[in-house]
Amino acid sequence: MVIQPTIIGNWKMYKTAAQAVEFIRALKTMIVNNSQVWLAVPFTAIHAAVKEAAGSDIVIGAQNMNSAKEGAFTGEIAGIMLKDAGAKFVLLGHSERRQHFHETNEQIAAKVKRALLDGITPVLCVGETESQRESGYEEVLKEQILEGFKHVEKEDADKVILAYEPVWAIGTGKTATPDIAEETQKYCRSVLAEHFGKRASNSMPILYGGSVKPETMSALMKEKDINGVLVGGASLDPKTFSQIVNFT
């Protein structure tokens, strides 16, 4: 089964609404590929970004949400609010959330469940640290994947996107080599196959994230188990990001 590549830009805590509009206006004129182009923008930029992206192939999403439908959780944001603002997807379990905000696999699994209930595509991020890679990454990834998907029914499996993002490669300039990324993502797919069956796992997109740049994109995308990328730093400039999107 051929999975259409998905390329997601993660803007983290960068860009105001006006800057988001300016970026999208420029990017629209630069895309020549037919990949799925998704942008995970700050909450305050969602509405303006959705308006600017209307009529183009650019899809707007968010970077986090709460696992509750709604409630007395000061400062938090609900999936139904993201949906109301026009977000179509949400990043969940990004390593910066796990590291700085101490998010656990359990909390992330609850968010994945809520996103599906709220009709937003969850992009579940998993990845090992440098020391975990050295001591054997398989167990860590297996736990993050199985826990993250634990409330997902088999028929909903392909509504979730998995993003493998080795922590040692995020924002460090150290991209995993295509061989390492492929070997690890093949392993991730085998975990999904154990849980959901081989057929379902073969149609589930698995993205790679970690210091992706225009120069590293083509080689990564030649690998069988890499169905797209999640891009942080290199997604902040429309010209650089368009070079990633327009990979050949």
Active site amino acids: 94, 165
Rounded CA separation 68/189 (Å): 29
Selected binder of ligand PEP within 7, 212, 217, 221 (CB under 6 A): 212
Chain residues 73-92 in contact with ligand PEP, contact rule CB under 6 A: none
CA neighbor of 38 nearest in space, from 13, 67, 4, 14? 4
Q: How far is the CB of 160 from ligand PEP (least distance, A)?
A: 17
Based on the shown chain and the rule CB under 6 A, indicate whether residue 10 belongs to the binding site for ligand PEP: yes
Name residues contacting ligand PEP, limited to 106-125 (CB under 6 A). none
Residue 143 φ then ψ, to 5°: -65, -45
Shortest distance, CB of residue 211 to ligand PEP, whole angstroms? 4
Tell the smallest beta-carbon distance from residue 233 to ligand PEP (Å): 3
Q: Select from 141, 230, 244, 245 the one that contacts ligand PEP (CB under 6 A).
A: 230
Select 94 or 196, whichever has its Cβ closest to ligand PEP. 94
Nearest CA-CA partner of 180 in 211, 153, 144, 202: 211
Q: How many residues does the chain have?
A: 248
CA distance readout (Å), 88 to 41, 151, 211: 11, 20, 24
Q: Which of residues 171-210 bind ligand PEP (CB under 6 A)?
A: 171, 209-210
- Interface with ligand PEP includes 211 (CB under 6 A)? yes
From 37, 59, 65, 231, residue interacting with ligand PEP (rule: CB under 6 A): 231
136 interacts with ligand PEP by CB under 6 A: no
When asked if residue 42 is in the footprint of ligand PEP (CB under 6 A), the reply is no
Cα–Cα distance between 186 and 56 in angstroms, integer?
33
Q: What is d(CA 94, CA 85) in angstroms, rounded to the nearest whole number?
A: 22
Window 137-166: residues binding ligand PEP (CB under 6 A):
165
With residue 80 as reference, give the H or E element that holds it: helix 79-85
115 and 121 Cβ atoms separated by less than 8 Å: yes
DSSP 158-176: GGSEEEE--GGGTTSS-PP
Confirm or reject binding of residue 237 to ligand PEP (CB under 6 A). no
**Residues forming the site for ligand PEP (CB under 6 A):** 10, 165, 170-171, 209-212, 230-234
